[in-house]
Amino acid sequence: MTRRRAESIHLTSSAGTFIIRDQKPMSDQKLEACLTDMAVPDWYRTLNSRVFLWAGIERVERLLAARQYRNSAHLVLTIDTKKLVEKYQDKLELSPINSGSTLFNPARRGPGTFLRLSDHPADTKVVEVTVKYSIPEIKDSIDSHEVIEPKA
């Protein structure tokens, strides 16, 4: 997909119902202004070809508290990073920014935003852990899971 996803997509299979989140925190106009060496459709193609994991609980909590998500239940998976890296190192890339948001003072982004673990500078904060395309055996890396209910 090469454009902003305005609404979440619900998928149902024999395993259950899954949601691919919307991209409401993105503005095409702001995105175009902060992109380097790529066009807006290329950025969406880059984003939409990855599975995203927050690198810390603070970002998860911020997402769950966001106005558009706070009234829904969420399944939160805690992933064993070592197991994930061992299994998916060749597909794993890190980002120092929230690559799916342009809401507040958006950081510059482009082809160098996502770096392989071996290329990511040790002194640079990791905000997102991404795996290209899919994590078909994610269950092998799950430490725990919790359903977070909406706050009343």
What ranges in 48-111 are assigned the alpha helix state H? 57-65, 81-88
Give residue-wise pLDDT tens across range 43-99.
999 999 999 999 999 999 999 998 888 998 999 999 999 999 999 999 999 999 999
Question: Residue 29 corresponds to which amino acid?
Answer: Q
What does DSSP assign to residue 10?
A: E
Q: Is 26 exposed, middle or buried (0-12, 13-18, 19+ CB in 10 A)?
A: buried
pTM: 0.91
Please name every residue paired with 145 in a beta bridge, in sequence order, or none if there are none: 77
Give residue-wise pLDDT tens across range 91-121.
999 999 999 999 989 999 999 999 999 999 9
